[in-house]
Amino acid sequence: MSINAIEHLIPAIKPAIDRAQILKAAATLGILGSGADSVPRMLALLCDPQVDGSEIASLIERQPSMYARILRVANSSYYGHPRSIATMERALLMLGRDAVRSIAAATCFDRTMARSMKGTAIDMQAVARHSLTTAAAAEALATIARRPMASEAFIAGLLHNLGIAVQVHLDPHGIGAMIDAIRDGAVCEIGVLESKHAIVGHEECLAVVFEAWQMPESLVAAAGYHHAPMNAPESHRDLTALVNLGANLGLAIGPCYALEPAPVERHLPAMLWLGLTDEHLDAVAAELPARVTELGSALFDA
């Protein structure tokens, strides 16, 4: 997908920062990657609905640490399968391709975050946990409202804050000003803070990176508009709304982090678009802490 093809999927970037600078920063951080087994290449393949189960299994089997972690998650209480899963073929059979793809994407995410966000002014462990919570929430909401999108919602929710790593690298002074404003009592959403203090937003950074990764258009749109889901192209609004509401629930149950230190109001237009009610969101929120603990333990704990 060319840059011109995704112009309508990425919010306007402020003149001080262009796409080339975003891509250069992402490359410096190791986010772009290269080669058939690089994290971006794996994520792109995992997110491609045309990639079949055998190709996914082959891809994962070339990565021993990922292979072991996927089997650990597959046998965890998060999925609650009563029989032991010892091979990737059985994991695909018992859990389904979408579940295995989501677990593999979470492993890729963990590696990318750990490598690219060291030494920042933000508690990246809190960002990672918020991202995992958003993923689980978006997946659960999709199961209610748009079941075929559950795996895509998990992946989009998991990656929705990866643009912060690029933003911190490009604009440390802007990030510092945002954090200072919050400490001084500013109460507003991250997009408002960015418009006042930053030269580039994290949504713009992530959308450009996703395009470079050759991610599906729906994921590029979710990256670029998850704080304003009704501004996304209509054909991709479902996924964008799921990520927005998943992130809302993630902040509501915690952890929050420096740039989003408190919950925000639920996005009513996104709820109406998906046909979701407060009762739906409350039900997901009630089960979310336990599910995130189970998934986090299997994914990240030794």
On whether residue 19 sits in a domain, the answer given is no
On whether residue 11 sits in a domain, the answer given is no
At 181, is the pLDDT very low, low, confident or very high (cuts 50, 70, 90)?
A: very high
3-class DSSP state for residue 71?
Answer: helix
On whether residue 165 sits in a domain, the answer given is yes
3-class DSSP state for residue 257?
Answer: strand
pLDDT value at residue 3: 45
Describe the chain by its helix, strand, coil percentages, rounded to 5.
70, 0, 30
At 18, is the pLDDT very low, low, confident or very high (cuts 50, 70, 90)?
A: confident
pLDDT value at residue 10: 58
- In whole numbers, what is the pLDDT of the chain averaged over residues? 84
On whether residue 271 sits in a domain, the answer given is yes
Cα 22 from chain centroid (whole Å): 18
On whether residue 3 sits in a domain, the answer given is no
Between helix 39-46 and helix 53-61 the angle, nearest 10°, is 160
pLDDT value at residue 231: 95
On whether residue 6 sits in a domain, the answer given is no
Residue 137 contacts by C-beta under 8 Å, 6 or more apart in sequence? 157, 245, 246, 247, 249, 250, 284, 285, 288
pLDDT value at residue 178: 92
pLDDT value at residue 6: 56
Percent of the chain with pLDDT over 70: 87
pLDDT value at residue 139: 94
The neighbour count for residue 39, using CB atoms within 10 Å, is 23
263-299: buried (b, 16+ CB within 10 Å) or exposed (e) per residue?
Answer: ebeebeebbebbebeeebbeebbeebeebbebbbebb
Q: How many residues does the chain have?
A: 302
Percent of the chain with pLDDT over 90: 33
pLDDT at 118 over 80: no
pLDDT value at residue 115: 60
Residue 58 contacts by C-beta under 8 Å, 6 or more apart in sequence? none
Domain count, the chain: 1
Is the peptide bond between 255 and the residue preceding it cis, with omega within 30 degrees of 0?
yes
On whether residue 28 sits in a domain, the answer given is yes
Please indicate whether residue 103 or residue 108 has the higher confidence score (pLDDT): 103
pLDDT at 254 over 60: yes
d(CA 117, CA 110): 11
**Which residues face 257 on adjacent strands?**
260
d(CA 34, CA 152): 23
Report the CATH number at residue 72: 1.10.3210.10
Judge contact between 238 and 227, C-beta under 8 A.
no
On whether residue 192 sits in a domain, the answer given is yes
pLDDT value at residue 162: 85
Domain hosting residue 160, numbered range = 24-300
